Amino acid sequence: MVKQADRFDAYGLWLVACGTVALLFPAAASATKLDLFSNVEIRAGNYQRLVYGDTRNSQPIFSENATLGFVIKGIQLEKTRESAMDVGIVLQSIGPGASSNTIISPQFTDAAARLPNSNGTPFIRSAYVKIYKFIRPGITATFGRQDFLLGQGITLSGGDLGLAGGRLEVDKILNSVKADLFAFRPFKTNRFFKIYGATLFYPSTEGLWQIYHFQEKDDGPVRDIMFDALSKTKKFTGVRYFLSQKQLTFDGEAVIQRGTAKKIGGGTGNYEAHAFMLKGSWNQDITFFGQSKVRLAYGRSSGNPGRDSATDKAFFPAFGSKFNGLERRGYGAIAGASLYDIIKTSSTANGLPYGISGLNIINLGVDLPYKKLIISADIYKFRASKNANNGSLQIASEWNLKASYPMGETLQLNAVYAVFTPLGIYPQSREAKLAYGAISAKF
């Protein structure tokens, strides 16, 4: 009965949202444009023998991830010169589904804990005002909770929660150079963080250069990789180059992390770390399959060589892209690895056994069209950068096989089978497995 009540409350909120829009937006619709969009993904899967310390656990999962957005575009601001604004509201619903077992495996607790609701009750993902020709032509301002992705998302991403704050986009500050200024106040665990910075875009003759710098300030106690901090400030400086041509795509990003922290036990600590990710793909004619895509990626982040130090050399941003609903998003369907953490195999901040930090990631993949199917195969190798225990650096290998069947531009069926093989840093080498099916729809 409790589950049924939760589901009725969830659908009730969706209906209230739709009704509110229907009542409020018609008056503006005559002079403006109303955009509606929705995305729904339903997944049913089973994780088997996931590693956690010296134990193994399994987790069947049935998840529903839905987005419903309303954007009023082209609202004229009468007391300004040709300025206009958009007003957007995006609702998100993430839950395990009414028929799913309770999610109890520690591998999924972080993803669920970050959400305002993880039982299917809708929450506000975005609520913003976007003003064109703000102050002067060439400046676009966005205020409120909004989607945001910096570079590849290594250091900063709104994910499926958005980031609350403000952003200014300035066109042609110097010839073709574009600038973004941003300040966000995201909520994590039990407190607000402060993030502010800037990024520059320079379109060259072949590709796009991006340079950014931002500061991430946390005034609360936190367990970090090297030491427990009472408060900390991390600064990230990065450069990215993106190239897209008919046959070839390249995406490279490098980041330096610096900062200071006040330790809980007294004294101060420093942060000195770095990371990079290089990704490329090219189209190639392969016998029997035809025009196919080959993908290659290599990335690395720094780690701590010892346990006791006043300097933390492990790269570890707080708001990088790494979650998708109740599961991880990253390299490997099971590992879900970022450049600095992996699916929980222990209680440490980066999910790795105690004393191990930094990741090296290698990915080789191919997308093969076969009739109406797209068959994708990927191989991953994960290696630690540093092991303070003077032991093995080999984390795991993984291979994924995926079949996608697009039934049009708005509906797609997916099936995935993945095998994760623990290597030297784990006492058990028995494989973990994942099989899931998904249906994705959008309009």
pLDDT tens digit sequence for 290-318: 899 999 999 999 999 988 889 999 999 99
**Residues 335-368: tens digit of each pLDDT:** 999 999 999 999 999 999 999 999 999 999 999 9
- CA dist., res. 153 & res. 67, Å (int): 21
Pairwise pLDDT comparison (95 vs 376), residue with the higher score: 376
Is it the case that residue 29 has pLDDT exceeding 50? no
Is it the case that residue 12 has pLDDT exceeding 80? no
- CA dist., res. 431 & res. 419, Å (int): 7
Is it the case that residue 407 has pLDDT exceeding 80? yes
Share the mean pLDDT of the chain.
Answer: 91
Hey, which residues does 55 pair with through a beta bridge? 52
**Where in the chain are the domains?**
2-442
Of the listed ranges 14-28, 55-69, 105-119, the least confidently predicted one is 14-28
Find the mean pLDDT for residues 5-28. Answer: 47
**Residue 101 pLDDT:** 55
Confidence of residue 19 (pLDDT cuts 50, 70, 90): low
Find the mean pLDDT for residues 161-189. Answer: 95
Fold topology of 2-442: Porin (2.40.160)
**Residue 223 pLDDT:** 84
